[in-house]
Amino acid sequence: MARILIVDDDRGMKELLQIMLEKEGYDVDAVESGKAAIQQFRRKNYDLVLTDLKMPRMDGIDVLRQIKDMSPETVVILITAYASGDTALAAMREGAYDYLEKNFDIEDVKTMVRDALRKRGVEKAEDFAASKSGDDTVYFGSIVGRSREMLKVYSHVKKVADTPANVLILGESGTGKELVARAIHENSSRRSRPFVAINCGGVPENLLESELFGYMKGSFTGAFSDKMGLFEVASGGTVFLDEIAELPPVLQVKLLRAVQEKSFRRIGGSEDIKVDFRIISATHQNLIEKVKNGTFREDLYYRLNVIPIRIPPLRERKEDLPLLTKHFIEKYSREFGKEVKKISAYAMELLMEYEFPGNVRELENIIERSVALETSNIILPENLVISKERQKGRAFTVEPEIPEGGLDLNEALAEVERSLIRKALQKAGGSKKKTAELLRVSYDSLKHRIEKLGIS
């Protein structure tokens, strides 16, 4: 459980924050002065400190400095009634994570605390049930989602995390397979040992062998000293082999021996090196087909696929889309120093219609670009860069002629909309529900458009 210390000489503010954060499942203490905060911190180490900036005798900057001297990894967030650019800059220079103005929104505080603790590495996957915001958002480690499909994944991870069994994670590219692997590691008894990840398809074969197994001095040109491989580095921890289907046949043999015997030899070595590690593999390919056509060893497949976990593509969990979008808007607004707060309803509709062949990774890329391009505090459709070739149901085009005297753009667009809705109503036999499905808008949105456009 994350430990939080609140420092504020305003008793009402102090009690509000304490009650709110305790409801979120945190272990919270609160004091009314900077001096009391330092004394309390010496008695009990904290993961995060929320401190008022303006306090008598010892202000928030002084508290920040002393806490950072005692515990550099502790996250400190400042609270101020009158934040300014200079105040924020001074706080950041001293090591503050961020600052809050006293007219804050409760949900903003929850989000900032949660993100800060996640960056600190405190909130583990097992805390997902307690890590809910007011809109029932679920964060499982660094994974975002509350759909039934993702809750099944979370449950599966919790069950297998502390077993020694090897895990094979299956899922399309961009679904978050490495995040799931990290959640498994963070929930296991190996969490204090290394988590070592390597992409088997992203490293040339001759380099991949030396990366995995290491080498002895003089074993080949350029081997000027002994080098540990990733299996040695990860001893006691977890090795994550991403895109395992890309592992060359000759290395499949060596990996099989390492998995079976928990020992291997460095390139050019003559002694067996004993290691203790757990392997989590991942692939977007059909490994059974690879086994059938002889490009992947059957015995290795069964050694790695002791416990399979399938990660659903984003198109199968569309209910997570608004929540993922909100998460990425907040992330990139902070990174780019923007004030983008939300996405427009129509822009959200465009996302909901899209199939996302690149899954969550593609969504993140779309939102990152949109936040970078946006000049207002809301993402508008024109700044939502979606692949036109892959957009579902976007074959309809309008190429009207522009008369010499010009035209009223709003009225022209309204007429096109009237025409489309009337045709859809006719095709749907007058059913508004079916019409909404044909036009891929919500039922309420269709009713609003019909009323606005005066369609009878």
Instruction: Report yes or no on 130 lying in a domain.
Output: no
Q: Report the chain's mean pLDDT, rounded to a whole number.
A: 83
Q: Are residues 245 and 365 in the same domain?
A: no
Domain housing 447: 409-453
What SS3 state is found at 225?
A: coil
- CATH code for position 162: 3.40.50.300
Share of the chain above pLDDT 90, in %: 28
- CATH code for position 356: 1.10.8.60
Instruction: Report yes or no on 128 lying in a domain.
Output: no
Q: Cα 309 to chain center, whole Å?
A: 18
Q: Are residues 98 and 217 in the same domain?
A: no
Query: At residue 424, does pLDDT exceed 50?
Result: yes
In the chain, how many domains are there?
Answer: 4
Q: Are residues 171 and 287 in the same domain?
A: yes
Q: Are residues 223 and 343 in the same domain?
A: no
Q: Are residues 269 and 154 in the same domain?
A: yes
pLDDT at 126: 35
- CATH code for position 435: 1.10.10
pLDDT tens digit string along 35-87?
999 999 888 888 899 998 888 888 888 899 888 888 877 889 888 765 554 56
Please tell me which residue, 79 or 244, carries the higher pLDDT value: 244
282 vs 243: CA distance, rounded Å:
6
Q: Are residues 169 and 219 in the same domain?
A: yes
For 87, residues 6+ apart whose C-beta sits below 8 A from its C-beta are 53, 80, 99
Q: For residue 7, what pLDDT band results from cuts at 50, 70 and 90? A: very high
Q: Which of 383, 401, 433 is the last residue of a domain?
A: 383
Q: Which of 72, 91, 123 is the last residue of a domain?
A: 123
Q: Are residues 152 and 117 in the same domain?
A: no
Q: What share of the chain is helix, strand, coil (3-state, %, to 5)?
A: 45, 15, 40
